[in-house]
Structure 1
């Protein structure tokens, strides 16, 4: 048995619920949003497709309905607008988080809290403080998305499958993130050696362009 609650039924929350349903990793999914009408629409859509997946109870819920969740995924909060940075959302989203994090922690004292809302690193720390949970049970999505973007862009640049790119974007999920170029490889071949082997241009300027494209990808999506 695995009960997973999702707080926030926007694009990320709804897509997360869909992915969980497809993967068959939960026996129960609760979807909650301040706009319960919006959340209900997402729940109905998921229910209609659930007969094609592993058995899973999907329902619209209040905060109280999330009680005894194994995992709570938090995607709630205001999203970036064009021209805004993630850090511009700190105060707004903290004010939202402080209204429901303590309640979630009290209702599911043994759960894992997975924070996705931006700015994710700061909000994960705030969730840790507001919940009173040990640090190993409050997780931020961090630079997982940035790393996926890096692998995708490098796959396109080298005309290979991005899944063969081994490397990470580190630091903040935001404007100060950076690529650990010295640890990056294609398969088990360092990226510089790979580029030389196949006569593909690779220098500091190329690295800077790719790193900038990764960092600015969210702004492009938002625009």
Structure 2
């Protein structure tokens, strides 16, 4: 009897395990396969939509940054307009930062009227800038001379400041006229009232210009 019970138990357990295996290896129904396929399609569609949205956001961000930082430069306008320096809300810091900057255009003129530039002997950089932009300047006025009273005489000082080499360089690079500035330290009233003294001052200036220029 015990042997029969054991055999019945073994047979029942083997039959249950075989039924489980048969259920495990049982092929899926068409409905379940269709639902899985639809689920995969939805996942692919959602992934594609998310990818498209992210791509559009990145493109819009880059395009906005490009348009915000890109400045259209009109080469026909003067240099200060090209760089956006002419505006109503300039700050003192911008003026200080741009103080030593000069235009990249050293030959083309945008201003048709005469241009006068003063050159001072205590600023050596002015000599170099005058040579660099000589084709854009029509008149250069170096501050070299002083007209003084010495007793009853008029004396023209500052001849040692006149730089003939610099004058030669200016004439080689452009057509600017050199008009030396003369500081009048003599008594103006004497020059206005006394004709001979006035003529003496004029002759001194003309003679110096003929010799130097």
TM-score (normalizing by structure 2): 0.28
More helix by proportion, 1 or 2? Answer: 2
Question: Which structure: larger Rg?
Answer: 2
| RCO higher in structure (CA 8 A, sep ≥6) | 1
